[in-house]
Amino acid sequence: MATYDFIFDGLGLRAWCDLAKQGGDRPMSMAELLAKSRGQSGEELSLWEFPFPSMDTLHKACPNFPQSRDLTAGLEQAFLAIKSVLRFVLDPMTQPLSWILEAALVGFEGMPWWIMIPVLMGVVYFASKSVKLVGFVALCLMFLAAIDLYDYAIQTLAIIFVCAVLCVLLGVPIGIAMSRNNTLQRMTIPVLDMLQTLPPFVYLIPLIFLFSVTEPKLYGIAIILYAIVPVIRLTDLGIRLVDKDVIEAADSFGMTSRQKLYGVQIPLALPNIMAGVNQTIMMSLAMVVIASLVSAPGLGVLVLRGIRNLELGVGLISGLGIVLLAIILDRVTKAALDRINTAEKY
């Protein structure tokens, strides 16, 4: 007798449970075979060992009750049933992302190192106005080039550049809309919570079923979904934290909502927005490494190679390259944030 037979017997569902046996004898589990060999109809369990009434446990008492594998199979079949419709809708919408990523990779890789490195140094100086930081970035890039990781690092930078820019272009307007509409904020926050708490690998599972592994938009969508949350949250927070007295002063001058947004709220919220951009860039870098599992180029490919082939040196050196890129991106964005904060004080 199974542990939870009394539930189905008490509810009068024994006949329904036994319907599963009418089509033929089902294969006996190992536990049932052992119990039968001992001359027992079931296991005698103490209260300490009493199992939770999970789907599989209830299935033992009632063969017609679904198992947990029936639930997962049902979800998979439901997803496959709507796959063609989803792909028909999403393909045209996401195809430009593939084109942008491919163009960025061609542009970054096609530019000679003696042009790319000075361009990157110029960008760093424009963002930070720090000669020391420019020198540090130049040394890091030259070190990566010296150990033959330059091409992989440039591929990683190209993907991060595209995805971070798209995260800002999409995330800042969403954050602004949330700050101006409490209902929209309450509806959006659960979605952001879900995106922020899902393990990175989970983002890849439905996308693999929807798109080909060779399509850049597969890893592009995963990176954007994973990295867009901080810039949305901190844009919303930054605008909501603008001093109400400043808003009242803007109202007293007769400023319209658009004028208040672009002339008062966004400038005052810029430190928070830049902090969100910093976190978005860092999360993009983390996801690029994981996205190498679905053909994303860059340093993550070498990390994956080190894991697959047990090449310790390759894994450690590529990991060092990722660390250097993370330090560069973090220092540059923080230097830009410090400049904004200093400008706000004066």
Shared-domain flag, residues 274 and 314:
yes
Domain of residue 149, CATH code: 1.10.3720.10
Of 15, 33, 66, the residue at which a domain comes to its end is 66
Does residue 76 belong to any structural domain of this protein?
no
Number of structural domains found in the chain: 2
Provide the 10 A C-beta neighbour count for residue 130: 17
Shared domain for 112 and 52, answered yes or no, is no
CB 61 within 8 A of CB 3: yes
Angle made by CA atoms 136, 142, 147, in degrees to the nearest 5: 130
Task: Tell me, yes or no, whether 30 and 156 share the same domain.
Answer: no
Q: Which of 66, 99, 118 is the last residue of a domain?
A: 66
Domain span including residue 291 = 82-345
In a domain, residue 75? The reply is no
Task: List the pLDDT tens digit at each of the 346 positions of the chain.
Answer: 567 888 888 888 888 887 766 554 555 555 555 544 544 444 566 777 788 888 888 888 888 888 989 999 998 899 888 888 988 888 899 999 999 999 999 999 999 999 999 999 999 999 888 899 999 999 999 999 999 999 999 999 999 999 999 999 999 999 999 999 999 999 999 999 999 898 888 888 888 888 888 889 999 999 999 999 999 999 999 999 999 899 899 888 888 888 999 989 999 999 999 999 999 999 999 999 899 988 899 999 999 999 999 899 999 999 999 999 999 999 999 998 888 877 766 6
